[in-house]
Structure 1
């Protein structure tokens, strides 16, 4: 058996679904532009620089989910996926996924973005398994807090190993493993797999991939 792991934002997507979700809510006047837009941009720049405090960001990102009924959130999300996310699917993403699926590899999207936003994107891309940051829920409604370990930086390894254990698997279950990512934040997991691949990488990951002899590819062409 072989394992194929895919980062989502700026890898399979030519953009960031976390950032775009907040911008979408601002456009819909659900969030106040004056209050939220500058903070959203600031957090995104911190993420790209590798300096993001994930818990501070999740407090910012998940609190709005707690202020609205789930039914209304689902309606906004459907519109968001159709208008903002579908056009961002990188041209080469489906072909890459299909290649691994044809080999019967176990395919998983592993992303720091919360599962409310990313679950329908995974379905759109035809990937059954998703490891994402999990918003806490009570009685079907979001509390505005996170549950468990965020799927971010080294937390991706922890969350993946928890997922594997729940499915009676370990790293040793796989003859080979791939991880496709664009971000310096994913270096811990990239170093853990047998086949790390830098996809449209940021400058830090690009340099590390060059020095390490890792493949560097683009899904946007």
Structure 2
């Protein structure tokens, strides 16, 4: 059996779902548009530069919705999926995931975006196994604005995959091949850990590294 791991934003979907959801909240009128847009873009540039303060970002990104009733949160997510994400679910990405599933590989999405946003997207790809940033919840189940445990970001992706495999009584050595698809240099730790790193719709920086190291380059959105 092979282990096939997929980053999400920029890899299986062309947009960054985290950034897009924040922009969706602006469209809903839930935030001060100019200030929230400015800060959202600022955090996104930090992510692209590899210096994101993910704790500060989670507090910022969840603040407009975490106090709202659960039913309203879910209704908003359903609208976001239908209006923003559905057009991002392209046949080539679906086909890549399905090819691994049909081959009997163990498949998981490993993303630095939080579980509230990414669970419906993983479901749309037909992938039950999602390793995403877990949101801390209080005794009543409300999101606090903090991260629960290790965030699946940069080196944290390796730790979270290790924990996920261990919970199933497995480890990396159980697989004849480990494949990781990603577009971003933020994922270099996990790309380097995989036996077959695949630079997928890579950023210019990752494409340069992939060419230097002889990694496979895959483009799903052309």
CA separation in 2, counterparts of 1:65 and 1:190? 33
Contact 1:110–1:131 under 8 Å retained in 2: yes
- Secondary structure of 1:179's aligned partner: strand
Number of the residue aligned with 2:110:
110
Number of the residue aligned with 2:196:
195
Number of the residue aligned with 1:173:
174
Number of the residue aligned with 1:205:
206
Scaled by the length of structure 2, the TM-score of the pair is: 0.97
- 1:101-180 matches, cutoff 5 A: 101-138=101-138, 139-180=140-181
CA separation in 2, counterparts of 1:34 and 1:210? 40
1:41 to 2:41 alignment: yes
Q: Could you tell me how far 1:219 is from its partner in structure 2?
A: 0.7
User: Aligned-pair RMSD on alpha carbons?
Assistant: 1.0
Question: 1:86-108: per-residue Cα shift (whole Å, max 9, x none)?
Answer: 11124410110111011100000
Number of the residue aligned with 2:80:
80
Q: Could you tell me how far 1:207 is from its partner in structure 2?
A: 0.5
CA separation in 2, counterparts of 1:50 and 1:213? 23
Number of the residue aligned with 1:215:
216
Number of the residue aligned with 2:66:
66
Unaligned runs of 5+ in 1: none
Question: 1:48-102: per-residue Cα shift (whole Å, max 9, x none)?
Answer: 1112121221221122332211111111000001110111124410110111011
CA separation in 2, counterparts of 1:202 and 1:46? 15
Unaligned runs of 5+ in 2: none
Contact 1:108–1:130 under 8 Å retained in 2: yes
Contact 1:112–1:151 under 8 Å retained in 2: yes
Number of the residue aligned with 1:185:
186
Scaled by the length of structure 1, the TM-score of the pair is: 0.97
Task: Give the count of matched residue pairs.
Answer: 221
- Secondary structure of 2:15's aligned partner: coil
Question: 1:136-194: per-residue Cα shift (whole Å, max 9, x none)?
Answer: 12323212221111110000001110111111111111110100000010000000011
CA separation in 2, counterparts of 1:219 and 1:29? 33
